[in-house]
Every structure is written in structure tokens, then in C-alpha cells.
A and B are shown apart, each in its own frame.
Chain A
């Protein structure tokens, strides 16, 4: 098994994780994870259900407190660099019956600019509308969020992240339960972010699209099972090991060999 060495040094990496262990109760959910995200690339975090993919992301953002581990963002502690990160939570993690409108949700991405009592000015609104336009949702600005389809909700979340004008984008299952049009709209936006030199990390569950969408993979099943460029790290062997033999051999080689 040949894994390419990380090209970005850890002290330059948009997100470098060392020795991260998180536990809910007795059982560790992720154990002793090291991860070095490549600058300016798109990385997929893949692994079976319950492998700790979302937990890894949440711990990296300090949403859940890890038992141990060190996290640096662009070479500095997370607290100093948090403004450079945009986060797209799982769509199902919020109550979409909340009484608010689409534009309002996107404006939440400007919280760091607005602060506690800052007035929402015309340029804030313009910025939020631009972000909505980028995900193809400009006509839905005044829509109540409860009226959106799953794909539209996901796009609104992405627009909110865009409004944060971050350098590192962390997305938790952005393609879960969305229609094909939304999936291609989202991947277009993510690729345009990469073209701007931004870094994208997404928890991903569809093995068949890993090769088409991403540059790097990070394989996890509670422990790190592999990391590196697709060609080197996304092989039948690593995927089989990650999924613990739960996938059929033919299925795996078909998925990982690609076109």
C-alpha cells in the first residue's frame, strides 16, 4: 500500500489535526486521528455509518469537545483562525420550521461583521443576495425556509457559508438527500471555490462520485484508515479495509478504479 506523503506541511495546512480522540460516554467515537488537509484542494472524508466522520468535523470546529488532540488552522490555534472557516452543518441538524426567511439565514453568515447590534445595511443585503445567486436561489430570498425542498435547504446553507468569505469550507454531508440538480449546483460552487484557491473538506457518503468530485480522500473508521490523493489512497484495498469487508469486491473495484 503506497500512500503519497502530504504535500502541504502541517504548519501551513488549512486544517491540521494531531492525536484527536473524541468520546461520547465510554466508547471513543474517533480515536487518535491525525489529518493534514491539503491547501487549495477538495478533500472527501469517507467511511461507513457511525465511523465518526461528522464527529471528526465537529471536533475540528470545537463544536464537540475532544478528549485529547491538537488542532491548528493555517498553522495557528483554532481560536485565532476561526473566522477563516465556514461550516455547513448537516441539513437535518436544524428545525426548518423555525420562523425565518431565506435571506435571513444567509445573513447569519455575516454575524462576525454585524456583531451584536450592528445595523444590516444595503451592502450586507447585496452580499447575501449575491451568495444566493451563486447557488441559484436568488428568487427565493423572501421565502419562508419551511417551504423549501431538501435540495433548496442545502443550497441556502451553502449560501450562508459563502457569505462568511472564508478560506476553508467544512461541509457535513452536503449531498445527502438532495436532487441531482442541487448536487451538480453544489459541486460547481465547490469547484469554483477551489479555483479561487480556497480549501474544501466534505463528509461524503457516495463512493461512486468520490473520483469525479474530489482531489484527496481521508478514510476513517473510528481510526484513520488512509489519507492522500485519490489515485494513491482511494484503492480497493483501503476502501475494503475502511468498510470492514461490508462491500462486495466487484462493487469496490468498480467504484475505485474509475473511468
Chain B
């Protein structure tokens, strides 16, 4: 692999891997808690946050929009938990109510305010712009040691890497209570574990991963990675720590394979254009899940 790979593909590949793994990690716990739809919910509720961020700042920039999206995600998480606890309803029900309402509020806000000059691109929101995150300052592998070239890395890469690091550290630190409270909430409470705070913390962690990934690679990957790698991993093993490792492996494999297939697959088939990398990564993760559902050693009836 030559210089061209470093310039064109290294950054998107790494960003894709970081985004996939950062979403898959909390996805494991959300899946076991039957809250896997939260990824779907978050990708809907960020819309009003993005619109508000635009209305406040008056421009399209990454940080205010991410901040707005994060705030909207937090508001949604709080509302979902509140409805779940006060209304004593299923988490899925609470999510359904909140994410449709907030998405509708976002559309309403968009229509009612003067944002006609802004082009809120549906395709961008869904598929992100992974292929465009190229490293123009690089000249080859040696650029990895060149501070000036490194400064020109797409900002999505350090942002996503930092997010992955934060998510991993949080899950490592709270591993034991998280596992305990996921398995047996009542027992966890008698041990003095703050179950509600922990549950909220998990969802907030997922929201942070989702918003960061959403900005870099679009919502398709977010939704797919919260569910597909953990669900496939669950069927590979009966131990939680092994399940986490499998989910990381599946997420990484999806990101690499998806990116390569999107870039070269159509050419191999005689086509001329590449297809969306994000879409292909999500597709690969779905295919992995389907494959494991057929041959996985720990499928349950």
C-alpha cells in the first residue's frame, strides 16, 4: 500500500473504525438491557439540536452543531428516563414517544424559522462524508511522523479517536457495576450501586458516541453499529467480556471491509463509480449479523 493509500484512505478508514467501535461498545449493554433502539432514537432527536445551534450561531460549523446535537440528545435521554420511571412504561415506548416528538419539533422549527438559505442535506445526514475526509497534507507513510502534516489531519479523526478512548475508559471503569446492574437491577440496588445514575450514564455515553459518529460518518453507521456487532457477538459467546471483544472485532471488520468494498467493489463488478462507504459499512455489519445468526455457536431458540 502506497502513498496514495495514506492520503486518500488512511484517515477515513481510521475514522470509520473508531466510529464503529465507539458505537458498538455501549451497544453491547444497551442490547442486553433491551434498549438497543436508543441509537435510532438519538439519530432522530439531534435534528432540533442542530437547527437550534444554527439559529443561535447563524452559520454551519461542526462544533456548535455537535454541541446542539449533544444537548438535544441529553434532553431526549432525560425525557425518556423520566417517562419510563414516572409512567412505568417500557423503555421502547418512552423512546418512541420522545424521538418522534423531537424529530417533529426539529422539522417544525426548520419550517417556521428563516433557514431557507441553509441546505440541510438528507444524504449528508444519513451517509456522512467519510470519503471526503482525506489527508491532503500527507505525502506518504513518513507523514505519520511529520508534525506539520499531522496538523492537517481531518479534525474528525482526533475527535472520533478521543470519543472512542472516552467510551472505552468509561466502560472499563464502570464494568463491574454496569454488568451487575444490567443482569440484576434489584440486587444491584441492595449493594448500594446507584442504578439510575448508571443507567443514565450509559445512555449519555451512547449519546456522545452517537453524536460524534453522526457528525463524522452519518446516522446509518450509528444505527447499524449500536445493534449489529453486539447482536452478532452475543451469538458467538456466552461470556460478556468475550462478547465485547467479538463486537469490537465485528465492528472493525465491518468498517474495513465496508470501506474497501465501497471503493473497489463496483470496479471489480465492472462499474465505474464507488458507492457510499458508510452505507457499505452498515451493509457489511448487517451481513455479518445474518451470517452469525445462521452459524453462530450460541444462538438461542
Contacts and interface: CB of A to CB of B under 8 A. Distances in A.
A and B: partners?
A: yes
Interface of A: 24-25, 58, 61-63, 82, 85, 87, 89, 93-95, 97-101, 105, 108, 111-112, 114-117, 144, 146, 160
B189 A116 contact: no
A85 B239 CA distance: 28
B240 interface: yes
B183 interface: yes
Q: Is the interface of B mostly helix, strand, loop or mixed?
A: helix
A82 B192 contact: yes
A91 to B, nearest CB: 11
Contacts of B32: 95, 98-99
Name the interface size band of chain B.
Answer: 20 to 34
A114 B191 CA distance: 12
Interface in B18-36: 32
B189 A62 contact: yes
Interface stretch (B174-182, B206-214, B215-223): B174-182
B173 interface: yes
B4 to A, nearest CB: 43
B100 interface: no
B186 A111 contact: no
Nearest to B237: A99
A101 B238 contact: yes
Given A100-B239, A101-B238, A112-B191, A95 B186 contact: no
B184 interface: yes
B110 to A, nearest CB: 39
A114 B179 CA distance: 14
A157 B2 CA distance: 58
B232 to A, nearest CB: 13
Contact of B174 (A100, A114, A116, A146): A116
B216 to A, nearest CB: 30
B113 interface: no
B187 A89 contact: yes
Contacts of B237: 99
Nearest to B236: A99
Interface string B144-187: 00000000000000000000000000000110110110111011
Contacts of A112: 191-192
Interface of B: 32, 88, 173-174, 176-177, 179-180, 182-184, 186-187, 189-193, 234, 237-240, 242-243, 300
A101 B240 CA distance: 9
Residue with the greatest number of chain B CB neighbours at <10 A, chosen from A89, A108, A112, A146: A108
A152 B270 CA distance: 59
Given A63-B186, A89-B184, A99-B234, A116 B173 contact: yes
Contact of B186 (A87, A97, A160): A87
B201 to A, nearest CB: 13
B244 to A, nearest CB: 10
A58 B187 CA distance: 10
A62 B196 CA distance: 13
Contacts of A115: 176
Given A89-B184, A111-B176, A115-B176, 6 more contacts: A82-B192, A87-B190, A94-B183, A99-B242, A100-B183, A101-B238
Contacts of B174: 116
Contacts of A95: 32, 183
B42 to A, nearest CB: 24
Contacts of B180: 108, 111
A89 B186 contact: yes
A171 B266 CA distance: 62
Contacts of A63: 186, 189-190
A61 B189 contact: yes
Contacts of B179: 100
B183 A108 contact: yes
B300 A61 contact: no
Contacts of A87: 186-187, 190
8 smallest A-B Cβ distances: which pairs? A144-B238, A87-B190, A94-B184, A99-B240, A89-B186, A98-B183, A63-B189, A63-B186
15 contacts: A25-B88, A61-B190, A63-B190, A82-B192, A87-B186, A87-B190, A89-B184, A89-B187, A93-B184, A93-B186, A95-B32, A97-B300, A99-B32, A116-B174, A146-B300
A116 B177 contact: yes
A100 B241 CA distance: 9
B212 to A, nearest CB: 25
A208 B237 CA distance: 43
Given A99-B243, A114-B176, A85 B184 contact: no
Contacts of B176: 111, 114-117
